[in-house]
A and B are shown apart, each in its own frame.
Chain A
Amino acid sequence: MNTPLPPQEIVERALSLSRAAHCDVIVDDTDTAWLRWAGDEVTANGASGTRRVTVISSGPGGGAAVSGTVDDPHRLEELVRASEAPTDAPAAGETAAAGSTAAPQPMRGDGAFESAELPEAAPARDRLSALIPELVRARGRSHGALHGFAQHRTGTAWLGTTAGVRRRHRLGTSTLELYTRTPDGARTAWAGAVADGFHGMDLPGLEAATTGRLRQPLPHRELPPGRYEVLLSPAAVADLMTAVYRAGGAADATEGRTVFARPGGGTRIGETLAALPLNLRSDPREPGLECRPFVLSHGAVSDAFGEAVQAGADPADNGMPLSATYWMKDGALTSLLASRADAARLGVPVRPAVGNLVLDGGTDRSLTEMIRSTRRALLISCLWYIRPTDVGTLTLTGLTRDGVHLVEDGRVTAYVNDFRFAESPVSLLSRAVEAGRTERAPARESGMHFPRTAMPPLRIPDFRFTARAPSAGS
C-alpha cells in the first residue's frame, strides 16, 4: 500500500522533477458529503474524498495542463513528463492571436508556504450528519412534501511554481436547498442558501419560503405571454448577472464575439449600461462571500460539461493576488475580464476572474417593501434552463419556475402559470427602474457552479415573455 504524501511534498517533488521552462503544480484535496431526498425517498447519499494533482508546463516546444488523481508517488513523474510532451502549444499566457505580444513573465515568490495553520475543517460527513436531526424534524413538519439537497464540501488547494510562488487556500461550501410542491403538483416553491457551514443557515426561514409559502391559499390565474412589469427575486437576478459575468471576457469583446463589443471595433468599456447607479463587482474579501484571494487556474480548456472556462483565468497568473474589482460602477461598464496576457495584447487593465459577484447600489427596500408599492406586476421567484440565443446581444431564453405570483395593489393576489422569456440581462440593466436591498442569494440554476452571489430584487417595467409554459404539475 502507498502512504499518501503530504500535499506540500507533492508540490515540491513534482517541481523538482520538472524540466520545463516554467511549471505550476496544484494539489486539490476535496472532502464532500451530500444528502438528497424527494418526499419520503432518499435519492442520493454519500461522501467522497479526492485528491487531484495538476501539472502545467510551458516553454519552448510546448506543454500542457495535465492532471490526475495520483495516489502513487512514483506516478508523479509520469504526470510531469506528460505535461512536458511537445504539442506546439503556446506558453501559458501566450494567446494564439497573430502578432501577439510576448507572454508575461510568471508570477514570482519566495519559495515558501506561509507558516500559519489552515482553518480547521471537520470532516464533511460529520458536518452533514449533524444537520440530519433538523432535517428529520423539517420533513416531519412538511408531512412528506419536502424535497431537499444538503451538501458540504471542503476544498483545499496547494499551489507551487518553479518561479517560487507558494500559495494555499481552504474553502468550505455548505449548500442547503429546500423545495416543495402541493399534492397536485400545481404549485412549487424553492429556497436555497450557501455558507461555510450549516450552523449559520436559517432553516426555519428556508422552510417558511417553501412549505410555508405554499400553505397560503391563492387562486390560480392563467395569463397570456407578453410584456409585463416584473419584480425579479434576488435568486433570479443572480442567474441573469452570472450570465453577464460569464460573457465579460475582454478578448472575446475585442474580437466582436460578445455583447460588450463596440460596433466597428473595440469594447464598450465606459458606456453606461444601467439606468440606475448600480455596481456589479467582485471582491475575494466580501463579507459572507469570501473566496480564494489569488489566481488559481488549472489550465482547463473546458469544464466537465464542455462549457468554456471563465475568461480571465490564465495559469501564467497563478498566485497573483486578487482584489476588489468593479465590472460596472454607477451604471457604467468599467472593466472586462482580462488576464495579464490579454491586458498586454489588448491594452486593457489586468482584471482576473474572482469567485464571487455582487450587484448593489440600489435602495434599502426589501422585496416585500417593493411588493407593497406595486400596482400590478408579476413576482418571479426563479429562472431555469437559461440558454443564449444570440451572443451578440446576450439574448437569453429560459423559463420561470417555482412560483410566479400576481401582485395587485401591494398584495400578492394569485398564483400564475409559468412563462418562457426572451431577454438580454444587459438590456434589463438599462430598463430596470428600481433595485432593492442586496442580499446573499445563490442562483437557482448557475448557483451550483457559482454559488457566491449577492443580488437585489429588480423591478423591470416591460419584461418579455414569449410563451406560456405549464406550471410544475399542471
Chain B
Amino acid sequence: MGRATAHESSHASTHASSHGSLRAISPQFDHAEQRRVADAVLERARELGVQHAEFRAEHVRDASWRLRDARPAGASDTVTAGFSVRVLHEGARGFAARTAGGLDAAVGAVDEAVRAAEDAGLLGGRRIDLAPEPVYGERTWTSAYETDPFEVSGQERTALLGEYSARLLAAPGVRHTDAALQAVRECTFLADSAGNRILQQRVRVLPEFTAHTVDPATGTLVSLRSTAPSTGRGWEYLLGTGWDWDRELAELPALLAEKAAAPTVRPRTYDLVIDPTNLWLTLHETVGHATELDRALGHEASFAGTSFASPDAVGTLRYGSPAMNVTADRTAPHGLATIGYDAEAVAAQCWDLVSAGVLSGFQVDRAGASRAGLPRSNGCSFAGAFDREPLQRMPNVSLRPAPEGPDTAELISRVQDGLYVVGDGSWSIDTRRQNFQFTGQRFHRIRDGRLVGQVRDVAYQSTTTDFWHSLEAVGGPQTYLLCGAFHCGKGRPLQAAPAGHGTPAALFRQVNVLNSREEN
C-alpha cells in the first residue's frame, strides 16, 4: 500500500523537489494564463492605490454519482472556474468575481472591487487592518493522494459502486440500496500585492453506501449507512486504502437486520461510549464552530450565530474535563481542511484550542488576528468558491487520544448501563453553540460492560460544556479516526467548506437521551 504525503516546492514547477514528488497540477487548470492575468490585476490595483490586493483563480471539478439498487441513478460533473479580486482600500474591503472575459474583465474587476470598498466606506464603521505575515513568494503545494478520482473511467467507477451495492443487495432482508460518491479536485492560484504566487491542488472524496430493509411492524423502510468517513484521499480510498470496505459491506446487512428488529429506546440518561464516526460531528459543532473568532465577535450573529466562548475567556473557561485536549491544524495528512496556505497566503499551522479541558485558543484570519492583538493569523481564511469572499473557516479540529489510552472494548467494559453510538446522523445546535441534539446510525445497548444488541430512535441531547465535562476518558491512538464534514455552511452569501475532525472513541457519563420517534 503506497503512502501518500502532501508535497510542497518553493519554485513554480511541478517537478521533483527536496520534499519528494509533487502530484501534477491538473492540465485543465491553465495557471500560466492566470499568472498573466494576475500581473495585470495587481498592476491595476497599484495604479488605484489600494492598500492590499489579492487575485485568486480557481478550477474546481466536483462530480457526484448515485446508484439505486446497484443501477446508475444520476451523475453530474461540474467544473467551476473563474477568478476574483479582493482589495483593501482606505480601510474597507471590496470584492469582485468573474468567470469570463479575459484581461479586460480582470482589470475591470479591480475597479469594481474598489467601488465596492468605497460603498462599504459610506457605511462607515471599523477599519480593517491585517496582521503581518511573511512573504513566501513562489510556492506549489499538493495534497496527499495516490490516484486523482477524475482519472478513473466512468465504467470502472460505476462497476465498483455497483459491485459494492450488489454485495449489500444480495444479503437476506436488504430491500433497497443507495450508493453515492462525490469527488472534488480543487486547484487554486493566489497572487497578492505582497509578492506571493501560490499554486495549490487538493483532492477529496465522500463515498456512502446505504442499505434499506422493511420494518415488519410499520411497513416503512429502516436504513443503515456506511460509516466510512469522507477524506482527503483519491480513488485509492474506494479500493481499500484507508478503509476496510470488505469488512464494512460484509457486516452492514446483519447490523441492519438487528436494527430493524431492535426495540425503541427508553428516554432517560445513559452513559455513552461514542465512536469517532459519530463524535467527529459533535466536535465540529460544539468546538470547531464555537472557537471561531468571527462568531465570538458577533460577525455571524444574524445568521450562523455567535459563541458562548469569548476571547477574554482563553485560559480560564473550563470547557470540559481534563481528558479533553483539542488541536487545530491545517497539516494533518488526508484532513479535509489540510492545505499549504490559506486564502490570505498564510502558511498552515497547528495550535491548541482546548488544553486539559481549558479553552486555550481561537481560529483567526489576518483581520481577526489584528483585531485580537495577535502577532499573526493562524491561517483560517478560506473561500468556498471563486465567487465567494474568503472568510474565517475551520481548520481540522481534532480531539487528541490518550497516548496510552484504552481501546474501545475497554471503554465499553467500564459501562454498566449505557449505549455505544456509531455513525453520524442528524445534528442541530443553537446559535450560541450550547444546546445540541445528535442522532446516529447505530446504538448498541451496553449492560455490565458488554454489548447486548441494538436499540433504535436514539437522540442524545446536552449542552456543550455539560457534555464535555461529562467526558471521563478518551481512547488511545488505536481508536483514533480522522473524519470530517464535506459541506460545512457559513456566511452570507452562503458558502460551503470542508473540515476534518479526528477523534478517538470516548466515554461520557450520564448524557440525556431522547426518543427521536416519540409520538408528537
Chain A residues with CB under 8 Å of chain B are 1-2, 4, 32-52, 62, 64-71, 82, 85-90, 95-98, 125, 128-129, 132-133, 135-136, 139, 147-149, 151, 177, 179, 181, 185, 188, 190, 255-257, 261, 263-265, 298-302, 304-306, 384-390, 392-393, 395, 397-399, 401, 418, 420, 422-424, 427-428, 431, 448, 464, 466-470, 472-474
Contact = CB atoms under 8 A, between A and B. Distances in A.
Interface in B108-157: 112-113, 115-117, 119-120, 122-126, 154-155, 157
A185 B427 CA distance: 25
Given A71-B100, A420-B437, A390 B298 contact: no
B302 A397 contact: no
Interface stretch (B332-340, B415-423, B512-520): B512-520
Contacts of B343: none
A302 B182 contact: yes
Contacts of A38: 297-302
Interface residues of B, number: 101
Interface stretch (B7-15, B231-239, B249-257, B483-491): B483-491
Contact of A393 (B117, B120, B517): B517
Nearest to A4: B100
B428 A385 contact: yes
Given A385-B428, A468-B435, 15 more contacts: A1-B103, A39-B298, A47-B96, A85-B154, A86-B155, A87-B65, A132-B119, A136-B124, A301-B65, A302-B64, A306-B182, A393-B520, A401-B430, A422-B520, A466-B514
A292 to B, nearest CB: 20
Given A51-B99, A177-B302, A35 B119 contact: yes
Nearest to B392: A43
Among A97, A261, A389, chain B packs the most CB atoms within 10 A around the CB of: A389
Contacts of B461: 420, 466-467
B74 A301 contact: yes
Interface stretch (B186-194, B213-221, B321-329): B213-221
Contacts of B486: 306
11 contacts: A42-B125, A43-B299, A45-B92, A47-B96, A50-B97, A90-B73, A149-B492, A177-B302, A306-B206, A390-B516, A422-B516
Nearest to B285: A385
Interface in B52-102: 64-69, 71-82, 84, 86, 92-102
Given A149-B302, A304-B496, A69 B81 contact: yes
B457 interface: yes
Interface of B: 64-69, 71-82, 84, 86, 92-104, 112-113, 115-117, 119-120, 122-126, 154-155, 157-158, 176, 180, 182, 206, 212, 214, 218-221, 294, 297-303, 306, 308, 387, 389, 391, 425-432, 434-435, 437, 439, 457, 459, 461, 463, 486-487, 489, 491-494, 496, 514, 516-518, 520
A325 to B, nearest CB: 24
Contacts of B429: 385
Nearest to B72: A89
A46 B89 CA distance: 13
A429 B518 CA distance: 17
Contacts of A424: 520
Nearest to B429: A385
A470 B100 contact: no
Contacts of B94: 45-46
Contacts of B76: 64-67, 298-301
A34 B122 contact: no
B120 A87 contact: no
Nearest to A445: B303
- Residue from B98, B157, B214 with most neighbouring chain A CB atoms (10 Å): B98
A135 B122 CA distance: 10
B300 to A, nearest CB: 8
B96 A48 contact: yes
Contacts of B117: 45
Contact of B102 (A2, A88, A181, A256): A2
B426 A387 contact: yes
A37 to B, nearest CB: 6
Nearest to B463: A470
Contacts of B66: 301
B96 A46 contact: yes
A87 B67 CA distance: 12
Contacts of A70: 100
Nearest to A389: B516
A386 B428 CA distance: 7
A397 B437 contact: yes
A468 B512 CA distance: 13
B368 to A, nearest CB: 11
B119 A264 contact: no
A382 to B, nearest CB: 10
B426 A469 contact: no
A255 B176 contact: yes
Residue among B74, B94, B101, B429 with max Cβ neighbours from chain A (10 Å): B74
B5 to A, nearest CB: 28
Contacts of B96: 46-48
Q: Which one of B95, B119, B158, B387 has the highest number of Cβ atoms from chain A below 10 Å of its Cβ?
A: B119
